[in-house]
C-alpha cells in the first residue's frame, strides 16, 4: 500500500512585490490526490500563488503546509512538490532521457539508477521510443510530455502546472488535457494547474479555485462553482450565466435556464439585440430596461421552429428556483 497523499494547505498566504499585493492572505486546503485548477484573469495572482507553493517565490506572509509540515522556507527540491513550466524549460543540448534524469543527477544519484528511473518515466508518458532525441526534434505535445516526465521523476506529492496547455494548438490542447487528467488519476497525486481558461478548468478539475484581485473569490467542485456562483465576477468569468439586477438584488441565472417568448408577456420584456448560431445551440440576447442584456441559450431545433430576429419584441421567462442570489 502506498502512503496516503499529503494535504497541501495555504494559511493566510500573502505575496507582495514592493507596493503591489499580488496575493492577499489567501487560505485554502487542496483535496489530497485531487486535480485542482487555479482559475482567474491575467494579473489576479494565480502564478504567484503557484510559484510560492513551488518555492520559486518567497512567501511575504503566511505559511504553506504539506501534510501539516511548514514547507514555506524549504528549497524547491526539498518540498515534495515539482513544477512544470509554461515553456517547458527543456535543456536544448541534452537528450530527452538526460532532460528527464536531470534532477536526479543534481541530487547525485548514480548513472544506472538515473537512466532506469528516466526510462520508467518516459514509459509513463509514452515516449520511450524518443529517449535519444534532442528537444528541438520533438513536436510541441512531445516536448510537453518530456517536461511532465522531468517534473514527475522526483516522485512529488504535488505537481504544479503553470498554464501547461497554452503553447499548444487548440486540437492538441484538448488531447493533452485528456492525457493530463488520465495521468493524474493513474498517479493519484495532487495536481494544481493554473489556467485562465474556464473551459479547461471545468473539463479537468475536481476542484476549481477562482481567484480575482489577489483573493480567492470561490472554491468548490467544478459543478458547484458553475451551478452556484457566489459573486457576479465568478458568474461572469465561469461563463454561461447572466447577472441580472432585480429590485431585490443581483442574481445569476444560467443562459440555458432562460426562455424567450414571441409575445411581450413573461417576467421581463425586451428587444432582441443579437442572435448567434453556435451549432447545437443558438444564443439569443435581449436588451431589457435599465440597459441590461440577458442571453438565452436555446437548443438549435427549438430556435428554428420559432426563430427570432434582431429588433423583435420578446418576453423572457425562467423558473425562479434557477435564480442564485449573489453576495457581491
Ligand X SMILES: Nc1ncnc2c1ncn2[C@@H]1O[C@H](COP(=O)(O)OP(=O)(O)OP(=O)(O)O)[C@@H](O)[C@H]1O
Q: Which of 33, 34, 40, 229 binds ligand X (CB under 6 A)?
A: 40
Q: Is 208 in the site for ligand X (CB under 6 A)?
A: no
Nearer to ligand X, 150 or 196 (CB): 196
Q: How far, in Å, are 145, 220, 254 from residue 224 at the CA level?
A: 31, 6, 13
Query: What part of residues 58-77 is at the interface with ligand X (CB under 6 A)?
Result: none
Nearer to ligand X, 38 or 183 (CB): 38
Helix (H/G/I), strand (E/B), else coil: 75: coil
Q: Is 277 in the site for ligand X (CB under 6 A)?
A: no
The dihedral built from the CA positions of residue 69, 70, 71 and 73, taken in this order, carries a sign that is negative
- Find where cell 494544481 sits: 192
Residue number of the CB closest to ligand X reads 47
Q: Give me the half-sphere count of Cα atoms (radius 13 Å) on the Cβ side of residue 142.
A: 15
Q: Which of 42, 263, 279, 291 binds ligand X (CB under 6 A)?
A: 42
Minimum CB separation of residue 211 from ligand X in Å reads 7
Q: Which of 11, 31, 43, 267 binds ligand X (CB under 6 A)?
A: 43
Q: CA 298, CA 241: separation in Å to the nearest integer?
A: 13
Q: CA 158, CA 254: separation in Å to the nearest integer?
A: 34
Nearer to ligand X, 210 or 298 (CB): 210
Q: Are strands 249-254 and 241-246 parallel, antiparallel or unpaired?
A: antiparallel
Closest by Cα among 284, 287, 255, 254 to 268: 287
Nearer to ligand X, 25 or 94 (CB): 25
Helix ranges, 216-255 (H): 222-227, 232-238
Q: CA 64, CA 86: separation in Å to the nearest integer?
A: 23
Q: Is 45 in the site for ligand X (CB under 6 A)?
A: yes
Which of these ranges, 16-24, 74-82, 113-121, 259-267, lies near ligand X under the rule CB under 6 A? 16-24
Closest by Cα among 152, 146, 119, 121 to 134: 146
Closest by Cα among 228, 217, 221 to 204: 221
Q: Is 315 in the site for ligand X (CB under 6 A)?
A: no
Minimum CB separation of residue 41 from ligand X in Å reads 7
Size of the site for ligand X (CB under 6 A): 12
Minimum CB separation of residue 205 from ligand X in Å reads 16
Q: Is 184 in the site for ligand X (CB under 6 A)?
A: no
Q: Is 22 in the site for ligand X (CB under 6 A)?
A: yes
Nearer to ligand X, 17 or 91 (CB): 17
Q: Is 39 in the site for ligand X (CB under 6 A)?
A: no
Binding mask 143-182 for ligand X (x = CB under 6 A): ----------------------------------------
Diameter over CA atoms, the chain? 78
Q: Which of 6, 28, 46, 117 binds ligand X (CB under 6 A)?
A: 46
Q: Is 36 in the site for ligand X (CB under 6 A)?
A: no
Helix ranges, the chain (H): 46-54, 96-107, 111-124, 140-152, 170-187, 198-204, 222-227, 232-238, 300-305
Query: In the complex, which residues of this chain contact ligand X (CB under 6 A)?
Result: 17, 20, 22, 40, 42-48, 196
Amino acid at each position: 500500500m502506498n502512503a496516503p497523499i499529503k494535504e497541501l494547505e495555504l494559511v493566510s498566504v500573502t505575496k507582495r512585490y514592493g507596493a503591489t499585493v499580488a496575493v492577499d492572505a489567501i487560505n485554502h486546503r487542496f483535496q489530497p490526490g485531487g486535480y485542482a485548477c487555479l482559475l482567474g484573469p491575467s494579473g489576479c495572482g494565480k502564478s504567484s500563488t503557484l510559484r510560492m507553493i513551488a518555492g520559486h517565490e518567497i512567501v511575504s506572509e503566511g505559511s504553506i503546509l504539506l501534510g501539516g509540515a511548514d514547507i514555506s522556507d524549504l528549497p524547491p527540491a526539498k518540498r515534495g512538490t515539482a513544477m512544470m513550466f509554461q515553456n517547458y524549460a527543456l535543456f536544448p543540448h541534452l537528450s530527452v532521457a538526460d532532460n528527464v534524469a536531470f534532477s536526479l543527477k543534481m541530487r547525485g544519484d548514480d548513472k544506472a539508477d538515473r537512466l532506469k528511473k528516466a526510462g520508467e518515466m518516459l514509459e509513463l508518458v509514452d515516449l520511450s521510443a524518443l529517449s535519444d532525441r534532442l528537444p528541438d526534434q520533438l513536436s510541441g505535445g512531445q516536448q510537453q510530455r518530456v517536461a511532465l516526465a522531468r517534473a514527475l521523476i522526483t516522485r512529488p506529492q504535488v505537481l504544479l502546472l503553470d498554464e501547461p496547455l497554452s503553447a499548444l494548438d487548440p486540437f492538441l490542447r484538448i488531447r493533452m488535457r485528456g492525457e493530463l487528467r488520465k495521468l493524474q488519476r493513474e498517479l493519484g497525486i495532487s495536481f494544481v494547474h493554473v489556467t485562465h481558461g474556464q473551459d479547461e478548468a471545468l473539463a479537468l478539475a475536481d476542484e476549481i479555485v477562482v481567484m480575482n484581485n489577489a483573493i480567492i473569490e470561490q472554491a468548490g467542485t467544478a459543478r458547484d462553482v458553475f451551478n452556484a456562483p457566489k459573486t457576479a465576477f465568478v458568474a461572469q468569468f465561469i461563463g454561461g450565466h447572466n447577472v441580472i439586477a432585480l429590485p431585490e438584488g443581483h442574481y445569476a441565472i444560467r443562459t440555458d435556464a432562460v426562455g424567450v417568448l414571441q409575445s411581450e408577456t413573461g417576467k421581463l420584456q425586451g428587444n432582441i439585440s443579437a442572435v448567434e448560431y453556435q451549432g447545437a445551440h443558438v444564443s439569443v440576447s435581449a436588451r431589457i430596461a435599465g440597459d441590461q442584456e440577458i442571453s438565452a441559450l436555446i437548443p438549435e431545433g427549438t430556435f428554428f421552429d420559432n426563430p427570432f430576429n434582431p429588433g423583435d419584441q420578446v418576453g423572457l421567462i425562467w423558473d425562479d428556483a434557477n435564480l442564485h442570489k449573489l453576495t457581491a
